[in-house]
Amino acid sequence: MNRRDILKGLTILPLTGGIVGKAAASIGGKAPALPVKPERDLFKELGVTPVINASVTMTFLSGSLMLPEVLEAINSTSHDFANMYELQDKVGAKIAEMLHVEAAMVTSGAACAILLSTAAAITGTDPEKIKLLPNLPGPRPEVIMQKTHRYLFDQAVTTTGAKIIEVEGADEMEKAINDRTVMALFFNAAEKSSIQHADFVAVAKKHNIPTLLDAAADVPPVENLFKYQKIGFDLVTFSGGKMIRGPQSAGLLFGRKDLITAARANHSPNEAPIGRPMKVNKEEMFGMYAALKAYLERDHKKEWEDWLQRAKHIGSQLETVQSVKTETLVDPGPANAFPSLKVTWDPEKIKIKPEDVVKALKGGTPSIVAGGRKDHLLVGVVLLRPDQVDIVAGRVKSILQQAT
Ligand SMILES: *Cc1c(COP(=O)(O)O)cnc(C)c1O
């Protein structure tokens, strides 16, 4: 597989709405229409290596590929100015309606949503406090988290000046609440919880403490977009640039109206607040709306079937190599809860370690990112464009074959 072949692959792209489609890539999205040759190949111009993602959505690998609908929204709205307050009002209202909550906003990703939620919980709409953050006088505001929920992204909490108070179990949570407590944060994909969702919400509600749930990577299933507000979380966030396939630098924050109003007061287009450096542009707001709408309207069952088919298809090609066995694994989630292909082989017959297969895939052309475990290779299928399924199968097969 050489560079020309990749470029050839890239020319079979969905064309929606004329000017879009050049850079668009369909992952089981709309059927490709007319092939479009890119007029200008910026990857080539800058010498940037295009990567095939046979793994899961990762920020360092540019998240996911935007849906054709999103690119269409970005392009078609780029020709006029808009008042950003009005745009956030209108997009937020529509998203809120779609997700059955009081209010919503587009943030620059879930990490921004965590920061804005914390800021909102600290300042409300008080302009003095908003201006002072993160340097409010007095004791630091406190955010409660379960000890087992601490994670890298909670730096977005402390960036506001707040301090994280770790608790274990509902009793400890209740005892930790005091007049400095501003919020309680639940990391949805944490491996262990000593307080389950409903109890967490109940304790917080009893003391009038707002709750935020971080479910950044937790679709599919699509139902998760509705589940946590029903449990009673005041705010919920999802990344826009993961499986919802919106702009990578967009995200959703939704829930209670007063908190969303306060979060917006801490955000761009206002000039001084803590969230000003986390601006979302006009096109990405439209794009996030279009992504969510397309995601909700998608035939999720069909998409799932398509993923299983891909895994089966790649598996059957790999099993033609002696001793190779494959199995479709579905990650139990809640993050990345979708199928991928587990590949194992007899190390006596195929003399290469899974990690070295990963290295060979990455170093080849096209560069392919797959998952390596100690005793198996994990080939992701959900982020492949239709034309990349055979490319990935072929490359893995040839690397394994060469090691026989
Ligand atoms: C990806 C992720 C984030 C950050 O989301 P962005 O949209 O990239 O800002 C936060 N929390 C969790 C659990 C994530 O998986």
CB 265 within 8 A of CB 257: no
Judge whether 3-65+299-402 and 68-297 match in fold.
Answer: no
Dist. CA 172 → ligand 1 center (Å):
27
Among residues 319, 328, 336, 284, the alpha carbon closest in space to that of 396 is found at 319
Render pLDDT for 129-170 as a digit per residue (tens, 0 to 9): 999 999 999 999 999 999 999 999 999 999 999 999 999 999
Find the helix or strand (DSSP H, E) in which 253 lies. strand 251-255
Paired sense of beta strands 235-239 and 211-214, if any: parallel
Atom 14 in ligand 1: which residue has the minimum CA distance? Answer: 216
Any atom of ligand 1 within 6 Å of the Cβ of 109: yes
Give the architecture (CATH level 2) of 3-65+299-402. Answer: Alpha-Beta Complex (3.90)
Render pLDDT for 289-316 as a digit per residue (tens, 0 to 9): 999 999 999 999 999 999 999 999 999 9
Judge residue 2's burial from the number of C-beta atoms within 10 Å of its C-beta, 0-12 exposed, 13-18 middle, 19 or more buried.
Answer: exposed
Render pLDDT for 182-210 as a digit per residue (tens, 0 to 9): 999 999 999 999 999 999 999 999 999 99
Any atom of ligand 1 within 6 Å of the Cβ of 110: yes
Give the architecture (CATH level 2) of 68-297. Answer: 3-Layer(aba) Sandwich (3.40)
* CA of 218, closest atom in ligand 1: 15
Locate the domains of the chain by residue range.
3-65+299-402, 68-297
Percentage of the chain modeled with pLDDT above 90: 90
Q: Considering Cα of 187, then 193, then 199, then 204, what sign does the dihedral take?
A: negative
Report the pLDDT value the prediction gives residue 135, as an integer from 0 to 100: 96
In angstroms, the CA 107 to CA 288 distance is 10
* CA of 215, closest atom in ligand 1: 13
Alpha helices (runs of H) in 272-388, residue ranges in sequence order = 282-297, 300-318, 354-363
Any atom of ligand 1 within 6 Å of the Cβ of 239: yes
Among residues 204, 146, 267, the alpha carbon closest in space to that of 154 is found at 146
Query: Does residue 2 carry a pLDDT above 60?
Result: no
Please give the structure tokens belonging to residue 344. 């194992």
